[in-house]
Amino acid sequence: MKITMIGTGYVGLVTGACLAEMGNHVMGLDVDAEKIRILENGGMPIHEPGLLEMVARNRAAGRLQFTTDVVAAVNHGTLQFIGVGTPPDEDGSPDLKYVLAAARNIGRHMTDYKVVVDKSTVPVGTADKVRAAIAEELAARDVKVDYAVVSNPEFLKEGAAVDDFMRPDRIVVGADDERAILLMRAVYSPFLRNHDRLHVMDVRSAEFTKYAANAMLATRISFMNELALLAERVGADIELVRRGIGSDPRIGYHFLYAGAGYGGSCFPKDVKALIRTASQAGVELQVLQAVEAANDRQKHVLVDKVVARFGADLTGCQFALWGLAFKPNTDDMREAPSRVVIAELLRRGATIRAYDPVAVPEARRLFEGEPRIAFGRGQADTLDGSDALLIVTEWKEFKSPDFELLRAKLRSPVIIDGRNLYEPALMQAQGLEYIGIGRSARA
């Protein structure tokens, strides 16, 4: 099947490459000529495990191409996936200008039946706006061409997106056009050979489903972070509590880890957007407002622990910091807890030596010109002369470090662990002072 993927960012690249992997002929469109140049030259503008190899393989096979030519892209695919960015406005609502611009381009140039698929995360009612934008362009041309608008939200985890797409736990399709539904079933059928996980529903319910899913996950994270704060006060160990409640099949273990707060391009934006949508509809989402407030507070918890241990004035202190990306297996630092931690430590006069397996280039860009932050080539580079080690992201390579080396290199053998990677009893046996999140009972 011929498919056009409008937008070659995170969602667009993963979606386009995975659809090409199943034999479709995919054309990726982007107005960013530099991004297209990078892709055409075999590069990759984002870090996502397995994506570079998949893109190269399908480009070599002739199933995946990239272009800045809008007319060619609209003419190419019967299915026109829109996977452009929806950055938040000042009021928290998603900015739909790129989505609607894509829709207008389709309406401006289409000559035969198209299925326009909203893949971007968009608020309830966006499909109606996309449909209207296309209709306006067709009316301006004084032509009549059939088309359908479908909602097909993505549920990809950064760092595991290729695997998520190739082995989906569900595919949501919101549509009211039978021809469009048949085409969507056809394009996804190779991913559903063992079990039909495709859920067809009305468009608005599909749009709502994406926000509801991310809001639920964010709620679990903030809930556990609040319990961790209480555990420290009452002498409980949040890790033992997590195991106790996670063993209940009604609850499960996913997204029950206390830490330094959630970040990234999805949870913060989607929680804000759902709160804004509710406000516009005259509904106050009190739980989600609390989730957002709890997360904002949690991003300061690591610095609070630094201050409790070293004092409010950190002038002359140096801290090693492991983990810059908002989660492992990505270089994405959007809304990352590390940004809050670094900014607050710098404000208090500290110097920082930071390391991340892939996010250092992005961190250099964000903190360009800041003389009190340096970046190590490896974990050990950050330790010499540092007063403590702060762990902000739970990369696998941080889980079993050389504790003897840590104790020898740190000026004071203190680990402040924002991801609860280590057992307090083991740290004590290693001669390390260990400060975790909600671990007071065994610290």
Tokens at 300, concatenated: 């300061």
What distance in Å separates the CA atoms of residue 166 and residue 316, rounded to the nearest whole number?
A: 50
Single out the catalytic residue among 103, 175, 180, 266.
Answer: 266
Q: Could you confirm whether 266 is annotated as catalytic?
A: yes
Residue 295, CA atoms < 13 Å, CB-side half-sphere: 25
- Do residues 433 and 407 lie in contact, with contact meaning Cβ atoms separated by under 8 Å? no
Contacts of 114 (CB under 8 A, 6+ apart): 74, 77, 78, 79, 80, 106, 145, 147, 148
- Do residues 138 and 145 lie in contact, with contact meaning Cβ atoms separated by under 8 Å? yes
* DSSP assignment string, 77-122: -SEEEE-----B-TTS-B--HHHHHHHHHHHHH--S-EEEEE-S--
Backbone angles phi, psi at 9, to 5 degrees: -85, -155
Closest among 194, 192, 198, 200 to 22, alpha carbons compared: 192
What distance in Å separates the CA atoms of residue 97 and residue 89, rounded to the nearest whole number?
A: 11
Contacts of 398 (CB under 8 A, 6+ apart): 322, 323, 379, 391, 421
Residue 121, CA atoms < 13 Å, CB-side half-sphere: 28
Tokens at 152, concatenated: 């097909």
3-state secondary structure of 374: strand
Closest among 30, 25, 26, 32 to 6, alpha carbons compared: 30
Total length of the chain: 443
3-state secondary structure of 438: coil
What distance in Å separates the CA atoms of residue 436 and residue 440, rounded to the nearest whole number?
A: 8
- Do residues 365 and 333 lie in contact, with contact meaning Cβ atoms separated by under 8 Å? no
3-state secondary structure of 434: strand
Place of tokens 């409010």: 312
Place of tokens 């504790």: 403
What kind and span of H or E run contains 11? helix 10-21
Place of tokens 């409640």: 245
Contacts of 141 (CB under 8 A, 6+ apart): 108
Q: What residues act catalytically?
A: 266
